[in-house]
Structure 1
């Protein structure tokens, strides 16, 4: 009988863990190679700041009490990225799905935050 609560916990946190597959490599790429070319903003300071912003948002997202702050930070990062992709004519559908997945994972973990009174 104890397998059911464990399975529910795994299913609740699985989408949140899978988001790290996208956000961590993106942040590390910005931190380890800040002198990227072909970007709209080619400043290494902006790339370093973006990498730190993503990792901070992800850390806040995983901590239960600050999850809403983390979701906000990750969404604030993803919205301009989607806009830049649309501006350059690049496909942005995958980025939109990642943004929706971030919001969905937060809703699964803490649905009471998203309810209106």
Structure 2
């Protein structure tokens, strides 16, 4: 499953530099698929192909947020999600709405970064 940041976030920013996928962004900041990955273009669920460097709308205006589609729970990089490991208020938690197998998470890592 992906990790999410709850509204208990104190906006300390400790999590952001720890993410190997650059899936964590400060509230109000636009994000890109290309950030922290090797992606040049992305095919969205509806079949639309976009430039991976195209800016996307922030997922939160108030708190740090995690782009679920880029989160691999640090699978293939670390033993545990690094955002959760460094969060001083334990607001980086499993997202019950986005459960993925280890196999899926590894495939996502390979898709974004190559072998």
* TM-score relative to the length of structure 2: 0.31
* TM-score relative to the length of structure 1: 0.31
Structure with bigger strand share is 2
Structure with bigger helix share is 1
Higher relative CO (Cα under 8 Å, sequence separation at least 6) belongs to 2
